[in-house]
């Protein structure tokens, strides 16, 4: 069976890989990038959530990816011109080389990277496509970007195929589905190494990860029946805040 992501790749001439500006190396998938290139498609990266990272550092990081890359922010409505420009450049090239009159653009990426937000940003749509919907419960459609450029309306989710691919920095740890304590510890361990806003947002010290989760549970009054801090509930809340970009970090 052909997977949905393969379908999108096969049907598109241009593929946008959406990554999270906070953790680029964790949210790009080189295996899929290679596959896209092998198929002779035009690939570029869009790093979303630039509003929560240092723009200068991000620019520097993107210049070293080896793939054309731009950044955008749904929150600040930034970057759509640059994204549309790259689409136009790709479309122009493909049309000239292959004598095509319609160009299809597909969007792929890990969960929570900002795929739906990017589609909304470049189509000027405010309609929120619920990100919690399982991918492709509906048949996807193409939105007209220009008279000869069509954009897919539903992005392809890069699914975690093995436990290693389920990783807190990839945004694919779903607190509604899995135990979060160990993932929260790992996230806090990263936060100790990289520039971040955790102490400010959570209003705790993150010097010791285990203590940090306990402190946060107490602060939020997440308590078990015996009065002890409900650390799993606190961990879930921390993961939620990471996934929806209230927490920031820059993993360089």
Ligand X SMILES: Nc1nc2c(ncn2[C@@H]2O[C@H](COP(=O)(O)OP(=O)(O)O)[C@@H](O)[C@H]2O)c(=O)[nH]1
- Interface residues with ligand X (CB under 6 A) are 48-49, 51-52, 73-75, 109, 111-117, 131, 155, 244-245
CA 63 to chain centroid, in Å, comes to 19
CB of 18 to ligand X, least distance (A): 6
CB of 159 to Mg ion, least distance (A): 13
Residues 6+ apart with CB under 8 A from 202: 212, 216, 219, 238, 241, 247
CB closer to ligand X, 155 vs 188: 155
Q: Contacts with Mg ion in 100-129 (CB under 5 A)?
A: 115-116
Q: b or e along 197-213 (b: 16 or more beta carbons within 10 Å of the residue's beta carbon)?
A: ebeeebebebeebeebb
Q: How many CA atoms lie within 13 A of 150 on its CB side?
A: 15
CB closer to ligand X, 177 vs 221: 177
Measured from each CB, the residue nearest to Mg ion is: 116
Per partner kind, with CB cut-offs from 5 to 8 A, the member of Mg ion, ligand X, none near residue 245 is ligand X
Per partner kind, with CB cut-offs from 5 to 8 A, the member of Mg ion, ligand X, none near residue 74 is ligand X
CB closer to Mg ion, 63 vs 132: 132
CB closer to Mg ion, 32 vs 91: 32
CB of 136 to ligand X, least distance (A): 13
CB of 83 to ligand X, least distance (A): 12
Per partner kind, with CB cut-offs from 5 to 8 A, the member of ligand X, Mg ion, none near residue 151 is none
Per partner kind, with CB cut-offs from 5 to 8 A, the member of Mg ion, ligand X, none near residue 241 is none
Nearest to 22 by CA among 168, 166, 155, 181: 168
Nearest to 28 by CA among 60, 80, 67, 59: 67
Per partner kind, with CB cut-offs from 5 to 8 A, the member of ligand X, Mg ion, none near residue 175 is none
CB of 11 to ligand X, least distance (A): 19
Per partner kind, with CB cut-offs from 5 to 8 A, the member of ligand X, Mg ion, none near residue 95 is none
**Cα–Cα distance measured from residue 23 to residue 74, given in angstroms and rounded to the nearest whole number:** 17
CB closer to ligand X, 204 vs 245: 245
CB closer to ligand X, 44 vs 74: 74
**Cα–Cα distance measured from residue 80 to residue 119, given in angstroms and rounded to the nearest whole number:** 10
- Orientation of helix 209-219 relative to helix 181-193, angle to 10°: 110
CB of 24 to ligand X, least distance (A): 14
Please work out, in degrees rounded to the nearest 5, the angle formed at the alpha carbon of residue 127 by the alpha carbons of 8 and 50: 75
Residues 6+ apart with CB under 8 A from 146: 88
Could you tell me where the beta strands, DSSP code E, fall in 26-77? 42-48, 69-72
Q: What residues make contact with Mg ion under the rule CB under 5 A?
A: 115-116, 131
């Amino acid at each position: 069976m052909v997977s949905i992501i393969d379908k999108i790749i096969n049907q598109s001439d241009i593929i946008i890989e959406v990554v999270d500006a906070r953790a680029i190396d964790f949210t790009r998938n080189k295996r899929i990038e290679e596959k896209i290139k092998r198929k002779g498609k035009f690939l570029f990266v869009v790093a979303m959530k630039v509003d929560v990272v240092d723009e200068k550092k991000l620019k520097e990081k993107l210049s070293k990816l080896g793939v054309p890359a731009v950044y955008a922010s749904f929150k600040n409505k930034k970057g759509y011109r640059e994204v549309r420009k790259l689409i136009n450049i790709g479309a122009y090239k493909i049309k000239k080389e292959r004598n095509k009159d319609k160009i299809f653009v597909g969007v792929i990426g890990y969960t929570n990277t900002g795929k739906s937000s990017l589609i909304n940003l470049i189509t000027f749509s405010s309609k929120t496509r619920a990100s919690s919907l399982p991918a492709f419960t509906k048949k996807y459609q193409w939105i007209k970007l220009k008279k000869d450029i069509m954009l897919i309306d539903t992005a392809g989710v890069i699914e975690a195929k093995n436990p290693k691919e389920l990783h807190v920095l990839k945004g694919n740890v779903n607190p509604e589905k899995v135990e979060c304590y160990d993932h929260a510890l790992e996230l806090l361990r990263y936060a100790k190494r990289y520039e971040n806003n955790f102490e400010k947002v959570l209003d705790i010290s993150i010097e010791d990860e285990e203590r940090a989760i306990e402190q946060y549970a107490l602060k939020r009054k997440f308590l078990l029946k015996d009065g002890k801090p409900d650390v799993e509930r606190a961990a879930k809340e921390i993961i939620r805040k990471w996934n929806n970009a209230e927490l920031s970090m820059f993993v360089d």
